[in-house]
Structure 1
Amino acid sequence: MSRESGRIKDASQKRILDEAARKRRQKKALEALEQDNFHDDPHADLVMSKKIPKFQETLDNRSNSRKKKTRSAEYYKQRFRKTFAQLVEEDLNVNPNPPNYASAQAPPSRLPERHFCAVCGFPSNYICIPCGARYCCVKCLGTHLDTRCMKWTV
């Protein structure tokens, strides 16, 4: 009795996408990511209700006078942060004349395109046959097949 890989057996049952279907799948995945990134953090305004004890207090610090809490600039950066779309719109309103984000262009590179692994981000040499995603090693291929391959349906 010979052993065979379950991955090879499943590969014959999977469909292979053409280039147009891969582009549609990639566009749909990017739109889903944009939707996820657009929302504000639901936990941004949570306030701890329980006071954390300060173990290094001395008798002098236990007096009835309390210091007023001051908020740092970092607090306001996090509280009133803007999305990428808001920053681009603000840039266009402040500086309508070029150069600005909307008018920035660069010529195409003279160097060949670099390809990176869809799982870990390292340079990749291999392509997943069903979906066209790139991977760099067998471990990343296993992760891709288990969690990502064909996750987004066309």
Structure 2
Amino acid sequence: MNDLAPDKSAALAEINNRLFFRFFQAANTLHTKGTQALNDFGVTTQQWSVLGALSRPQAAQGMSVGEMSRYLLVSRQNLAGVLGRLERDGLIERATAEEDRRSRKVKLSAKGAELWAALAAPIHAFYGEALKDFSFDDRLAFIHYISRLQRNMAKL
């Protein structure tokens, strides 16, 4: 039961709507502007996220498709097409996992690692411009609140 006064309840509903609409707009802007930032490299924002996931030291031995799906919070079906294009372009490799020969791991190829290194400067410039009005503490707080929101939504 909502214990807020009716006027505060309406205001809260409006604020909630604005927050989620802003997230929607920010995601669309990230897709559009991120694609523009990566255009010279022929990389989409979806490919960027996969390459970024695989570039982490924790993924040096590769990731299963299931692990990547959970890490990126995307369905295996959506990931399959992106992985197929990255493999076709020689940016990732699929190899049999050493710990379970029935399982396959996805990892960056040498060409993929080279591309990721080339993407670092434009990606960091994009991040810097997008966050230029945020202090260090603002950025940490933002991470905190977005993580909290994501955890709450995951429970729904």
- TM-score with structure 1 length normalisation? 0.26
- Structure number, greater radius of gyration: 1
* Larger RCO (alpha carbons 8 Å, 6+ apart): 1
More helix by share: 2
